[in-house]
């Protein structure tokens, strides 16, 4: 197999990975930018949900008012725990806290408990594009005369 095809394969793989990560980063940044309004929520019910294989989360069903319209939702309020007793202790802590929600003012159904900047996705896609550019430049350098830029004696 020719070195040219190996370079082409490596560059194609890196560009495909870049497109995948850049798409994910773009969607995450778009979602982040849309969440602009914070509203208080009323927790209707706390419960511990079993996600299977020793994973339990604190689940909260809540409602919130935005633009004189009531919305309802539910989602996990905690990372997974290994046993239900730890999750029950967290329910006691969570029930005494004041909770707010981030939402999209144009579509209040789009909401999130936390508004996080997607640093990891943006950095990963940036590294991949730099890596693709590096290999592309290296392929051009290697492909000038097939000797890596050095002249061969005739």
pLDDT at position 136 is: 79
For the chain, the C-alpha Rg in angstroms (whole number) is 25
Three-class SS state of 96 = coil
Regions of the chain with pLDDT less than 70: 1, 144-154
Residue 111 phi, psi dihedral angles, 5° rounding: -150, 165
DSSP state of 116: -
- For 137, the token pair is 């430049």
Determine the pLDDT at residue 144.
Answer: 65
The count of C-alpha atoms lying within 13 angstroms of the C-alpha of 34, restricted to the half-sphere facing its C-beta, is: 15
pTM of the model: 0.68
Domain ranges of the chain: 1-34+117-154, 36-114
Q: What pLDDT is stored for residue 1 in this prediction?
A: 59
Name which of 46, 33, 55 is nearest 102 in CA terms: 33
Q: Give the per-residue pLDDT at 67.
A: 93
**Measured distance CA(92)–CA(86) in Å, rounded:** 10
148/135 Cα distance (integer angstroms): 13
């Amino acid at each position: 197999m020719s070195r040219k095809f190996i370079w082409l394969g490596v560059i194609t793989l890196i560009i495909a990975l870049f497109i995948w990560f850049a798409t994910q980063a773009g969607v995450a940044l778009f979602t982040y930018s849309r969440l602009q309004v914070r509203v208080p929520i009323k927790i209707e019910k706390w419960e511990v949900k079993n996600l299977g294989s020793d994973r339990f989360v604190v689940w909260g069903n809540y409602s919130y008012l935005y633009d004189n319209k009531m919305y309802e939702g539910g989602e996990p309020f905690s990372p997974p725990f290994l046993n239900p007793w730890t999750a029950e202790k967290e329910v006691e802590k969570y029930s005494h806290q004041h909770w707010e929600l981030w939402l999209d003012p144009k579509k209040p159904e789009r909401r999130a408990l936390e508004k996080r900047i997607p640093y990891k996705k943006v950095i990963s896609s940036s590294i991949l594009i730099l890596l693709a550019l590096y290999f592309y430049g290296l392929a051009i350098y290697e492909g000038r005369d097939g000797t890596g830029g050095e002249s061969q004696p005739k």
